[in-house]
């Protein structure tokens, strides 16, 4: 039984990020697929959000903190660039994705537009989708502009910034509007295909 325990539903983009971090480092971990606000989660996260992590006496919540702990505790390839400007650029992207893009791309567009209606046997919510689409378009364009200058978000090779974005792009690819926006962009398509091929991505595929 591995010492590192990652807790949280596999469908969560944030849970996938920390699992990908462990996979990229080559760290064995036990995965406990617990929903938000379940007892094992609230025992660690004061607001019941996933992921949470246990490693011996260490218990942590928040994906960025957990990924940082995994990166700094275990051997294996570094997940953050060493060069200060590239490291700061990776942090900048993680912050933008987690504080701005997650809200519109995941919560409003993907979950409210597609997942929640479909769970109730309804069609995707066209009103929600059309309201959020300007934000989706703008945010994908911002990512595209950055990737037009560099193959990776930090500008210095694959990093946690790319790990942090890929689970979101994966969900968007399966939708009509954002999926078409990605497919019509050579830059976004190349980026997606480059990173989707990583074993850490295949190993953390959410159930359908
Ligand atoms: N800032 C947190 C966000 C985690 C988060 O929002 N997780 C979602 C699942 S993707 C969750 O637990 N939602 C339940 C809730 O907000 O009550 C992190 O980076 O770990």
Q: Does some domain include residue 133?
A: yes
Task: Answer yes or no: do 62 and 26 share one domain.
Answer: yes
Nearest CA to ligand 1 atom 9: 12
Pocket test for ligand 1, best of 40, 48, 49 (most atoms within 8 A of CB): 49
Pick the last residue of a domain from 28, 52, 73.
73
User: Is residue 164 over pLDDT 70?
Assistant: yes
Q: CA 63, CA 61: separation in Å to the nearest integer?
A: 7
pLDDT 10s digits, 62-116: 999 999 999 999 999 999 999 999 999 999 999 999 999 999 999 999 999 999 9
pLDDT in tens, 188-198: 999 999 999 99
Say yes or no: 29 and 114 in one domain.
no
| 109 half-sphere exposure, CB direction, 13 A CA radius | 27
Domain boundary among 52, 73, 94: 73
* pLDDT 10s digits, 12-24: 999 999 999 999 9
Q: Which domain holds residue 24?
A: 4-73
Ligand 1: residues with CB < 6 A are: 12-14, 36, 48-51, 62-64, 98
Residue 138 lies in a domain: yes
66 and 167 co-located in one domain: no
Q: What's the pTM value of the predicted model, to 2 decimals?
A: 0.98
Residue 207 in domain: no
- CA 179 to CA 169: how far, in whole Å? 9
Distance 12 CA to ligand 1 centre (A): 8
**Assigned domain for 208 exists:** no
Question: How many domains does the chain fold into?
Answer: 2
């Amino acid at each position: 039984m591995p010492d590192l325990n990652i807790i949280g539903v596999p469908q969560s983009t944030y849970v996938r990020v920390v699992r990908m971090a462990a996979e990229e480092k080559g760290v064995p971990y036990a995965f406990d697929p617990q929903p938000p606000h379940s007892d094992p989660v609230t025992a660690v996260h004061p607001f019941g959000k996933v992921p949470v992590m246990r490693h011996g006496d260490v218990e942590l919540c928040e994906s960025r903190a957990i990924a940082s702990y995994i990166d700094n505790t275990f051997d294996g390839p570094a997940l953050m660039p060493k060069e200060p400007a590239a490291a700061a650029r990776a942090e900048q992207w993680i912050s933008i994705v987690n504080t701005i893009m997650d809200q519109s791309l995941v919560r409003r567009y993907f979950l409210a537009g597609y997942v929640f209606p479909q769970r109730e046997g309804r069609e995707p919510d066209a009103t929600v989708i059309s309201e959020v689409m300007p934000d989706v378009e703008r945010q994908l364009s911002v990512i595209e502009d950055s990737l037009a200058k560099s193959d990776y978000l930090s500008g210095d090779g694959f990093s946690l910034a790319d790990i942090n974005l890929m689970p979101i792009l994966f969900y968007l690819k399966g939708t009509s509007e954002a999926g078409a926006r990605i497919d019509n962009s050579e830059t976004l398509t190349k980026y997606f295909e480059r990173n989707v091929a990583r074993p850490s991505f295949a190993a953390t595929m959410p159930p359908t």
